[in-house]
Structures are given as structure tokens and as C-alpha cells.
């Protein structure tokens, strides 16, 4: 199959297909992932081609799904679990943080749990309560888990294949508001970066915008808008939230002297808090301004009719850019 333009949904679907073909021990399991093909159609067509034994429709029981996946991994399988929506992961939280994250250390390295947990996360789709959560810091704070989030179809495809091939448990956060964005994907090619490497999505010299998942596109738009005023903004797509590629981040901020961190999750104790602290520690003598953060408000995610007010947008990012450049 030659390179062609894929939506993120299709890129993820193709990644699952390639991983299933590559390893007969790889399984896909979750609510409605089989005959329905998933609520976002990420698993569309896989049940027809791989059957009930490998594309498994589960009961509506997230804790049971995760517990079953852990048991399968202990028996040598490589489960790919889909949590249907971000807010549905909480019943499985105990299994994830007390079993999945700790089993390798508990067994002194003798046991591996190669489980990928796919979670559509974030807002921007007009959904009801429990369908627009940004809970990445819960998992990034948990030692023993790897946490990644692609921002575009190319990264979504290759990062999912890398996550499934990894022997570590990976929380794979899919920005659902970007599911319909398109990019050119070549499934026969190779990944451009290791799974946990950040990338410079746009080069610049005046300020570094740091983002991941759904907010990378907003930051690229902000950089384009700032260019009209003569400002050259660099955009760093973190891609991995645990571990974080601090070397790439440090190199960028030392070049620009300023940093603004953007994410959908609330600013209070969000990823930006750790990132800002690390940037300050590692780049103190290079900084020309305080590290600023842009994120959601410290409040429950609102009804869909006002979510655009809650979510960081172009204007809020540009406001932070202007404040940082004013120093």
C-alpha cells in the first residue's frame, strides 16, 4: 500500500491492522470494538478479518476489561484495550495504577505486561458529561506507565504501532477532536522518531510554544498568526508525557529564551506545572521571561454549549505569547 492521505481514524485503524498481522498474540478488546467497529470506527473492519478470538467485544465493565487484559498479558498475549471514552476509564483506574503499573517492579523485572490502553481524550466534539476529560496527569504521575499522545495522523499511526510492540504498558491518548484531521501516511515506511521523542513542529527563535495532542494544531495556528506581526515562534510537540523528552525541550527554550505551555487540562497541577518547573531548573540563565501556562479552568468540564469558552483557543494562546514577549 503506497502512501496516501489518511484521517487519524484511518491511520489508527491501519496501525492496528498491521500490528495484528505482525503478531498472532496481539488482541484488540473493548466495548463495541468488534462488529460495530468502535464508536469512532477506529476498529472498523477488523472483526471481519480477524474474528471473535482476536477482536473481542467486552461487557460494559472497564475494571473487568483491564483485569482480563492483565491476565492475558501474563499468559503471553499482547492486548490492545480500548476505553470507549476518557471519562469511562475511572472504574479501571485501580487495575491500571495498582496492577498494570506495578507488576513489572513487583516481580523484580521477571514479568512484563505489554498492554496498550487506547483512550480517546479531550473535548471539542460537543459531547455530554464524562466524554471530554483530560486526565493525562493521573497516568503520567504513576511510575510504571508510559503515556503518549499523538497530534496528527502520521504520529498516530506510527506511535500506536510502536506502543503495541513495546513490552511496557502504554497509555495511548488519542485527541478525539483531531480524529478527522488528515495527513499523508505510508504504512510501509518507518517511524521518523522513537516513541518517546519530542519533535520540533515549527522552528522559530523568539519563543517556544509547548503542546501535545489536540493543542498542537492550535499552537501551530498561533505561530502562524504571530508571524504576521514579525514574531518567529517555535512549536514543540511533546508526543510523550511520560517519559518527557526534556533534552529537546531544553534545547528549544535555550534557543528562544521564552516558553508558553498549552494543554486542554486545567492549569492547576496540569502537565504544564511539571514542565514549567523543569524548564526553569534547566534553562534558568537562558530565560528572558517567566514560563507561562495556558489551559482549561479549574472546574468540571462544562456542558457542550459553553465548551469553546472553557477550551484554550487561538486568542488565549496569543495573549500568553504577547505577555511573554513583553518582558
pLDDT digits (tens, 9 = 90+) for 17-62: 999 999 999 999 999 999 999 999 999 999 999 999 999 999 999 9
More reliable by pLDDT, 122 or 128: 122
- Based on the fold, state whether residues 96 and 120 are members of the same structural domain: yes
- Based on the fold, state whether residues 54 and 164 are members of the same structural domain: yes
- Based on the fold, state whether residues 162 and 14 are members of the same structural domain: yes
Where does residue 21 rank: exposed (0-12), middle (13-18), buried (19+ CB within 10 A)? exposed
**What cell does 192 get?**
521518523
Whole-angstrom distance, CA of residue 78 vs CA of residue 175: 23
Looking at every residue in the chain, the average pLDDT score rounds to: 96
Is residue 190 in a domain?
Answer: no
- Based on the fold, state whether residues 177 and 230 are members of the same structural domain: no
- Based on the fold, state whether residues 39 and 97 are members of the same structural domain: yes
- Based on the fold, state whether residues 173 and 24 are members of the same structural domain: yes
Judged against a pLDDT cut of 80, whether residue 288 lies above it is answered with: yes
Is residue 290 in a domain?
Answer: yes
Q: Choose the weakest-confidence range: 1-10, 120-129, 301-310.
A: 1-10
Please state the rounded mean pLDDT for residues 267-290: 97
- Based on the fold, state whether residues 66 and 24 are members of the same structural domain: yes
Write down the pLDDT at residue 233.
98
Is residue 136 in a domain?
Answer: yes
Give residue-wise pLDDT tens across range 177-232. 999 999 999 999 999 999 999 999 999 999 999 999 999 999 999 999 999 999 99
- Based on the fold, state whether residues 27 and 172 are members of the same structural domain: yes
Instruction: Single out the catalytic residue among 47, 110, 131, 157.
Output: 131
Is residue 118 in a domain?
Answer: yes
Whole-angstrom distance, CA of residue 150 vs CA of residue 13: 14
**What cell does 301 get?**
468540564
Domain boundary among 121, 151, 185: 185
131 is catalytic: yes
CATH code (residue 158)? 3.40.50.970
- Based on the fold, state whether residues 37 and 137 are members of the same structural domain: yes
Please state the rounded mean pLDDT for residues 136-150: 97
- Based on the fold, state whether residues 15 and 154 are members of the same structural domain: yes
**pLDDT grade, residue 128 (50/70/90)?**
confident
Please state the rounded mean pLDDT for residues 145-163: 98
Write down the pLDDT at residue 169.
98
Write down the pLDDT at residue 129.
87
Name the residue with cell 521523542.
197
Whole-angstrom distance, CA of residue 100 vs CA of residue 23: 21
Is residue 194 in a domain?
Answer: no
Total domains in the fold of the chain: 2
Is residue 225 in a domain?
Answer: yes
B/e letters for 163-195, b = 16+ CB within 10 Å, e = fewer, are bbbbebbbbbbbbbbbbebbeebebeeeeebeb
Whether 89 contacts 44, CB under 8 Å = no
Domain boundary among 185, 216, 245: 185
Domain boundary among 160, 185, 210: 185
Range of the domain at 284: 199-326
Is residue 192 in a domain?
Answer: no
Q: What percent of the chain has pLDDT over 90?
A: 96
CATH code (residue 241)? 3.40.50.920
Write down the pLDDT at residue 2.
67
- Based on the fold, state whether residues 180 and 204 are members of the same structural domain: no
**What cell does 157 get?**
499511526
- Based on the fold, state whether residues 145 and 94 are members of the same structural domain: yes
Amino acid at each position: 500500500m503506497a502512501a496516501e492521505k489518511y484521517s487519524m481514524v484511518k491511520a489508527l485503524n491501519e496501525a492496528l491492522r498491521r500490528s495484528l498481522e505482525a503478531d498472532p498474540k496481539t488482541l484488540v478488546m473493548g466495548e463495541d470494538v468488534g462488529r460495530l467497529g468502535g464508536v469512532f470506527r477506529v476498529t472498523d473492519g477488523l472483526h471481519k478479518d480477524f474474528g471473535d478470538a482476536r477482536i473481542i467485544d467486552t461487557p460494559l465493565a472497564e475494571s473487568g476489561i483491564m483485569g482480563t487484559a492483565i491476565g492475558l498479558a501474563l499468559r503471553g498475549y499482547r492486548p490492545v484495550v480500548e476505553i470507549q471514552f476518557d471519562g469511562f476509564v475511572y472504574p479501571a483506574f485501580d487495575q491500571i495504577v495498582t496492577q498494570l503499573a506495578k507488576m513489572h517492579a513487583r516481580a523484580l523485572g521477571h514479568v512484563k505486561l505489554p498492554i496498550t490502553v487506547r483512550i480517546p481524550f479531550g473535548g471539542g466534539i460537543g459531547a455530554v458529561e464524562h466524554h471530554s476529560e483530560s486526565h493525562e496527569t493521573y497516568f503520567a504521575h504513576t511510575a510504571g506507565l508510559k503515556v503518549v499522545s499523538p497530534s496528527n495522523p502520521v504520529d498516530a499511526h506510527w506511535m500506536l504501532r510502536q506502543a503495541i510492540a513495546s513490552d511496557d504498558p502504554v497509555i495511548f491518548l488519542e485527541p478525539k477532536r483531531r480524529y478527522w484531521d488528515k495527513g499523508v501516511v505510508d504504512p510501509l515506511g518507518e517511524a521518523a522518531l522513537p516513541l518517546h521523542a519530542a519533535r520540533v513542529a515549527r522552528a522559530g527563535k523568539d519563543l517556544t510554544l509547548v503542546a501535545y495532542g489536540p493543542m498542537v494544531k492550535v499552537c501551530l495556528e498561533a505561530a502562524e498568526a504571530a508571524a504576521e506581526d514579525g514574531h518567529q515562534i517555535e512549536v514543540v510537540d511533546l508526543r510523550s508525557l511520560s517519559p518527557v523528552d526534556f533534552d529537546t525541550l531544553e534545547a528549544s527554550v535555550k534557543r528562544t529564551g521564552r516558553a508558553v505551555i498549552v494543554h486542554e487540562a486545567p492549569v492547576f497541577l496540569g502537565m504544564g506545572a511539571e514542565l514549567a518547573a523543569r524548564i526553569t531548573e534547566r534553562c534558568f540563565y537562558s530565560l528572558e521571561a517567566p514560563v507561562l501556562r495556558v489551559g482549561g479552568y479549574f472546574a468540571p468540564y462544562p456542558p457542550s454549549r459553553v465548551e469553546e469558552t472553557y477550551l484554550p483557543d487561538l486568542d488565549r494562546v496569543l495573549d500568553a505569547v504577547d505577555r511573554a514577549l513583553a518582558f
